[in-house]
Homo-oligomer: A and B are copies of this chain.
Amino acid sequence: MELKEAKDKFIHTWGTLATQWGINRTMAQIHSLLLLAPKSMNADEIMSELQISRGNVNMNLRDLMDWGLIYKQLLPGERKEYFIAEKDIWKVAKQIAKERRRREIGPLIDAMQDLKDGIKPDTAEKEEFLKIVNDISTVSVFADNTLTSLLKADENWLVSSFIKVFNR
């Protein structure tokens, strides 16, 4: 397997997997292209490399910046904007985890809180309902706190603390 072939396979695989986890294919492909690129790239280069439209490239570059996975780079003497990916994979993993926590756990906590606030446990049925809502609330707050604690720590601490926990 030659390098070009391997890189294409990497980009394709990353794009396919992404759809399994709620991220769109193009965003993942642009991300992996930049991850493998030795230099920063501009919109035109990404367009021609992945054969996609300018609008699509622009929209996904902005999303990737929102996710904190790529940075804009302004090169002196260049009008065009260049983009470069965060290459530290631990940071990438942390950013992804952080964003997914925000998107997936946050709204769940809020929704359960609204239900708790909006209903009084004045019948047995309502109590039963609130029991479930409370349980979900507890579990999601727990998951949120756990992830938050992990993400605050730096990566070395992260690794070593897990080794400590799971080796005892």
Contact = CB atoms under 8 A, between A and B. Distances in A.
**Chain A contact surface mostly:** helix
Given A139-B89, A142-B159, A118 B17 contact: no
Interface size class of A (residues with CB under 8 A): 35 or more
Given A3-B126, A90-B139, 17 more contacts: A3-B125, A3-B129, A6-B118, A6-B126, A6-B129, A9-B114, A9-B115, A10-B115, A17-B104, A21-B22, A36-B132, A38-B125, A87-B132, A142-B162, A146-B166, A161-B165, A165-B165
A133 interface: yes
11 contacts: A7-B129, A9-B114, A17-B104, A17-B108, A20-B104, A36-B129, A89-B139, A90-B139, A93-B143, A142-B159, A149-B165
Copies held by the complex = 2
Contacts of A7: 129
